[in-house]
Structure 1
Amino acid sequence: MFRRTKSETDTTVPVEPQGKPGGKGRPTPTRKEAEAARKAALKKPRNRKEAAAYRREKVRAERVKMQEAMRTGDDRYLPAADKGPVRRFARDYVDARYSVMEFALPILLVVSLLGVVFSPAFPWLAGTVNLLFLAMILLIAGDWFLLTGGLKKAVAAKFPNESAKGIGFYAVRRTMQMRRWRLPKPMVKRGEKPS
């Protein structure tokens, strides 16, 4: 009398519960799991050997982050001497220009080798080498003056509230390195305006 017939039965598909929008996407850990994770994080080394291993691993991880930052320019993990927007601007300013100081060391090395090797055979070459050394020193001094003056003006215009202390020496030190060996790696091409 009150039975359903076969045609009246519904074939319903069970609906799976969907995650709540904005949820964390995983189940809440049990109390036991949460306490175990907390204790593992707070676990102290039992002896000096474990403490040294832990310290070495931590230093290695920081060094890896710093090396990666030196390649990519990530400001978070750079050494303290290279951090900050002013230092980044100084690096870009140096990397965007050609400089006598960049090529000074290779040129002086070649000139001194020529002087040492050929001076006994050609006595007049010693005087020429000395003149070339003097010319390079004057060119380096002029380049130093132009670099630090231009950089300090640019920094004062772009970052009026930031301290530019030591920025000139930082730029000169970077300029004295060959471009391919500079760390952090150059982020701008030559002739490009620093951002």
Structure 2
Amino acid sequence: MAQSVSHRRACGWLDGARPGAAYACGVFRRSKSADDADAQTPTTAKPEGSGASAGKGHATPKRRDAEAARKTALKVPADPKAAKRAMRERDRVARAEQREAMMRGDERALPQRDRGPARAFVRQWVDSRRLIAEFFLPLVVLVLIFTLIPNEMLRFYASISWYAILLVVIVDLTVTGLRLSRALKAQFPDKADRKGAVFYGIMRAMQIRRLRVPLPQVKAGGAPVPPKKPRTR
């Protein structure tokens, strides 16, 4: 009974309020159970500093600190002259390793003209044969020396030798090109794979064996070249 009277007083029934207001109070007034539930619901406070900084977890390093950390990771000396010397030494070692890999025929270190299975096959095919064309340059130098001697007879024979050497080398390269072309067709049926390979083989055949790049991996006759022993100081 006391609860009913207090409810009426809260809605204004006992104070002379309008019936419409009393009806609205009775319909839209929050129930006691809802008020108790709101009172029992805990409120979670938003932590301070939330956002990008909270997810990052650390402050952004300064530029000089980042540069110092990078130099420390690269082991760069603080002295500018020492740093330049260390950089030159690293470049020298890198170039030496690159050249060594290229000379032994590593595909990753070779120039574009020497890459591919067709080029590797041509090098193997040419290096496994003793060709007359590889002596062309030494013979030309020898003939040139004889032409400089003040002797008419030696100059005459040197001129004849020059034409004879040139003719023999042309014949040898022609035969070598035909044989290499047949070997390439049998090994690589696709014409695109062997494009320019015959000319590549002819140019390699004219080079002195010791000056070929990459170095021959087989001897004349097909035997593999033994690996070089490391130099001991």
**Alpha-carbon shift at residue 126 of structure 1 (Å):** 2.4
Residue segments in structure 1 that go unaligned for 5+ positions in a row: 1-30, 41-52
Residue 177 (1) aligns with residue 207 (2): yes
Aligned to 1:143: 172
**Alpha-carbon shift at residue 62 of structure 1 (Å):** 6.8
Aligned to 1:28: none
Aligned to 1:158: 187
Q: Name the % identity.
A: 37
Matching residue within 120, 132, 136 for 2:161: 132
Counterparts in 2 of 1:78 and 1:111: CA distance versus 1, 3 Å: same
Q: Deviations over 1:21-63 (max 9, x none)?
A: xxxxxxxxxx98xxx9xxx7xxxxxxxxxxxx9xx99987874
Residue segments in structure 2 that go unaligned for 5+ positions in a row: 1-56, 59-65, 71-83, 225-233
Bigger relative contact order, structure 1 or 2 (CA pairs below 8 A, ≥6 apart): 1
Q: Could you say which structure has the larger radius of gyration?
A: 2
**Alpha-carbon shift at residue 114 of structure 1 (Å):** 1.6
Amino acid at match of 1:117: I
Q: Distance in 1 between matches of 2:146 and 2:212?
A: 28
Contact 1:100 1:140 in 2 (8 A): yes
Q: Distance in 1 between matches of 2:187 and 2:206?
A: 24
Aligned to 2:135: 103
Residue 116 (1) aligns with residue 148 (2): yes
Q: Distance in 1 between matches of 2:97 and 2:116?
A: 17
For residues 18-29 of structure 1, what are the structure 2 equivalents within 5 Å?
none
The total of aligned residue pairs comes to: 147
TM-score computed with the length of structure 2 as normaliser: 0.53
Matching residue within 117, 121, 129 for 1:89: 121
Q: Distance in 1 between matches of 2:132 and 2:171?
A: 9
Query: Structure 1 residue runs of 4+, over 6 Å off?
Result: 56-62
Amino acid at match of 1:144: L
SS of structure 2 residue aligned to 1:146: helix
Q: Distance in 1 between matches of 2:149 and 2:183?
A: 45
Amino acid at match of 1:85: P
TM-score computed with the length of structure 1 as normaliser: 0.63
Residue 167 (1) aligns with residue 230 (2): no
Residue 66 (1) aligns with residue 98 (2): yes
Contact 1:65 1:77 in 2 (8 A): no
- Root mean square deviation, CA, Å: 3.3
Amino acid at match of 1:88: A
